[in-house]
Homo-oligomer: A and B are copies of this chain.
Amino acid sequence: MSKSLAIAVIGATGTVGEALVQLLEERDFPVASLHVLAGSDSAGQAVAFRGKNLRVRELADFDFSQVQLAFFAAGEEVGRQYGAKAHAAGCSVIDLSGGLEQALPVVPEANAECLAGLRAPYRLASPTPVATALAAVLAPLRAALGLRKVTLTAVMAVSSLGRAGVSELARQTTELLNLRPLEPQLFDRQVAFNVLARVGGVEESGHAVLERRVSGEVKRVLAVEGLKVAVTCSVAPVFFGDSLAVCLETAGAVDVAAVAELLAQQPGIELVEQGDYPTVVGDAVGQDELYVGRLRAGLDDPAELNLWIASDNVRKGSALNAVQIGELLIKHYL
């Protein structure tokens, strides 16, 4: 990579934006100049990058023709509005917000080749953390398994709602342990010592907007013909890290040892020993790898594979995947 780009990070003061800037530095991303942007609330704050403090500037005033690549790690509405504005100014966009509808979801391990037919400026999306983790783990298994259906239960961290989610769980836990009455904020009820059966908006059909999004992203990224994906997204009292219970229906009897070998060979995946299991705290959080375990064929169905994935929702699920999309662009396309 001999090129070097002018880059913008939008939402640079959020949990994901912060991780993004850190990863650009850690991975020696070819940054010629870095513009850290946010809403007026956060403008003026400082973000550390390569030993300097960069001043956060206000997004509304920014001229996107100054940069070649922009990461959108703020809210959906920001992604929709300013993502389109950046693209119109000739800037390639990697959207983490879900707002930029025309953007193509990319998980480099799974569908890097889909960029080949496109032209700059690119409009790409890093899928939801849950879809990213699932697609990255299933990608190396697609050919061997003959995937027919994925049934996913995601047990998500409160940081899925950003820094506010983290504060709210800490506040609720402290209140309860001090036997003070609890008035839930942010979440619609107590999340401490509870499991919420849904997060965010819900459709008339009963599916959460997030569940439909995860299902759509997984299908689009994996591109397995006729694949069905069933999704339940719940939230547990966990600060960081998503846990995914996955049940796969396959074309024929599953060879668990062969699956384990495929996963063990895959960069970015850490397969834990049979008998042990991975968790978010202690394994996945703070790591670039997706932790996979509990591989087992069906109890009643040899054409079934069950597994468990522990993933850092902020890092691998969001920021790292976005940076990896950026690396792919730089290497081949920009």
Contact = CB atoms under 8 A, between A and B. Distances in A.
Interface string A281-311: 1100000000001111111110010101010
Interface stretch (A34-42, A44-52, A194-202): A194-202
A136 B207 CA distance: 24
Copies in the complex: 2
Contacts of A194: 238, 241, 279-282
Contacts of A215: 299-300
A267 interface: no
A143 interface: no
Helix, strand, loop or mixed for chain A's interface? Answer: mixed
Contacts of A230: 151, 247, 298-301, 304, 306
Interface residues of A, number: 62
A189 B155 CA distance: 18
A5 interface: no
Contact of A234 (B155, B212, B229): B155
A205 B279 contact: no
B293 A197 contact: yes
A243 interface: yes
B236 A195 contact: yes
